[in-house]
Chain A
Amino acid sequence: MPWDRNKMAARAALELEDGFYVNLGIGIPTLVSNYVPADYDITLQSENGMLGMGPFPTEDEIDPDLINAGKQTVTELDRTSYFSSSQSFAMVRGGHINLSILGAMEVSETGDLANWMIPGRLVKGMGGAMDLVAGVQRIVVLMDHANKAGESKLLKKCTLPLTGQAVVDRIITNLGVFDVVEGGIKVVELAPEVAMDEVRQKTEATLVG
């Protein structure tokens, strides 16, 4: 059975290592914070200018001066530090953040990522995504294997404008875990009861190994 959103997030949480500084994208990646092992010391970065992001506030704790990169109200922790936008992206671009888990529209077999615009549709902007994929040590994409029309999102070549070129290390979909390697996409793990045939049938990218 393919993974649902929560199982995908739980699987993505296995990418965390004790002591990591992590940036989570908007959408399913946000759910990963629900599955951080209790004995791990993980610090979440929010690129609007915060290290050590806490949970959503109670009604009484709401502070308009304290939001995350999704513009949602959040809370601080004892470890929290605040900083300006250039400082925030210095730690991103400078490779000081260990891991970023992001959503995607398309990923290519060479690790290209497209997740910021669809030509002809409303263009909202890339926010911090281009900086994150260019600078964070390891990029893991969390996305459905196919789009709503049933077409593979793991492609030989992206059709949409890129967010970054050769930036993705690993892709976790509802069908399994896949690595970008020399020559194509390597199957690392399959979701329970998902057969290789199904993966082959639903993957346009070259599968290797």
Chain B
Amino acid sequence: MGKVYQDAASALDGILFDGMSIAAGGFGLCGIPENLIQAIKDAGTKRLTVASNNAGVDDFGLGLLLQDKQVKKMISSYVGENDLFMQQYLAGQLEIEFNPQGTLAERLRAGGAGIPGFYTATGVGTEIAEGKELKEFDGKTYVLERGLKMDLAIIKAWKGDAQGNLTYRKTAMNFNPECATAGKVTIAEVEEIVPVGSLDKMAIHTPGVYVQRIFQGAHEKRIEQRTTRAA
């Protein structure tokens, strides 16, 4: 059964449904699955729960899904870059579950690794730990956090092959490997599909078993904070 699809719309065929949960890779606008986000916007799928570190900006990234109010709930660590998000949140149209960044990453990793929960010191004594089980290990208190398993994971990699093996480029890796494991179905968009066997087998970040569908797409790669020094 082939994993390679022509584009984002065909890769999403038969997968989307209203009320579904989606894990989306990326940090800020770096390493986000641009084509899949646009295709989900075009498909008009509603009442989405989206786990993603950030929520994009008003006109790019996951912000696109807010324009037509497709998102019911975000699970994120930081959403400061998005005015539309704030408007919908303050109007009660959008729920937010804040997760500390490392806790979100570990929830996705754990969910993908068949681990239903884990204890972490992160957030103990803060409102993040309210209502959650606390447990003491070796004199220190930890809070129980749950693994996350999502209906769909949408991720972006640099190069991939028809087996679904993936490599990421620099800090565009971020949450993508964790999201890849946490999806019941995982779709990867890559800058280049290369022949099977041509990736360095010792440097594959995401083994193909985690990836059900893959396609090659063009990427704008918008920069949020262009900071430079004099040449």
- Residues of chain B contacted by A64 (CB below 8 angstroms): 30, 172, 221-223
Contacting residues, chain B, for A129 (C-beta < 8 A)? 100
B228 and A128 form a contact (CB under 8 A):
no
> Which residues of A (61-109) have their CB < 8 Å from a CB of B?
62-68, 70-74, 76, 82-86, 88-89, 92-93
- Find the residue from A48, A86, A122, A165 having the highest chain B CB count within 10 A: A86
* Nearest CB of B to A147, in Å: 20
Consensus secondary structure, chain B interface: loop
Find out whether the CB atom of B125 lies under 8 angstroms from the CB atom of A162. yes
Chain A 144-176 interface residues, beta-carbon cutoff 8 Å to B? 161-166
Q: How many positions in chain B have a CB within 8 Å of any CB in the partner chain?
A: 57
Q: Which residue of A lies closest to B106 (CB)?
A: A86
Listed stretches B5-13, B36-44, B175-183, B208-216; interface member: B175-183
Q: Is A57 an interface residue (CB 8 A)?
A: yes
Q: Is B198 close to A, CB under 8 A?
A: no
| Of the residues A68, A73, A85, contact of B226 by C-beta under 8 Å | A73
- A56-B227 CB under 8 A given contacts A125-B79, A166-B125: yes
> Quick check: is A50 within 8 A (CB to CB) of the other chain?
yes
Contact status B169-A131, CB under 8 Å: no
Q: Which residues of A contact B86 (CB under 8 A)?
A: 122
Which residues from chain B contact A46 at a C-beta distance below 8 Å?
171
| Complex interface: chain B residues within 8 A of A48 (CB) | 27-28, 30, 171, 174
Residues on A with C-beta less than 8 A from B102 are 47, 85-86, 88-89, 92-93, 128, 130-131, 135
Give, as a whole number of angstroms, the nearest-CB distance from A70 to chain B: 7
Residue of B nearest to A69 (CB): B27
Task: Determine the distance from Cα of A164 to Cα of B53 in the docked complex, in whole angstroms.
Answer: 20
Look across to chain A and name the residue whose beta carbon is closest to the beta carbon of B98.
A125
B45, CB-defined interface residue at 8 Å: no
CB neighbours of B229 from chain A (8 A): 55-58
State in angstroms the CA–CA spacing of A111 and B67 once bound together.
42
Number of interface residues of A (CB under 8 A): 52
Residue-wise interface mask of A (108-150) relative to B, using a CB-CB cutoff of 8 A (1 in contact, 0 not): 0000100000000011111111110011000000000000000
Partner of B106, one of A47, A67, A89, A126: A89
Q: Which residues of A contact B31 (CB under 8 A)?
A: 65
Decide if B171 touches A49 in the complex (CB within 8 Å). Answer: yes
Question: Which residue of chain B lies nearest to A91 when distances are taken between CB atoms in the complex?
Answer: B102
Q: Which chain B residues lie closer than 8 Å to A135 at the CB level?
A: 102, 121-122
B76 at the A/B interface (Cβ < 8 Å)?
yes
Most central of B28, B105, B172 by chain A CB within 10 Å: B105
Considering only CB atoms, which chain B residue lies closest to A83 in the complex? B173
Does B60 make an interface contact (CB < 8 A)?
Answer: no
Q: Say if the beta carbon of B128 comes within 8 Å of chain A.
A: yes
Q: Is the CB of B28 within 8 A of A67?
A: yes
List 6 contacting pairs A-B, 8 Å CB cutoff, sorted by A. Answer: A55-B229, A73-B225, A73-B227, A84-B177, A85-B53, A86-B178
8 tightest A-B CB contacts, nearest first = A165-B125, A89-B102, A131-B102, A124-B80, A85-B105, A64-B221, A125-B78, A130-B100
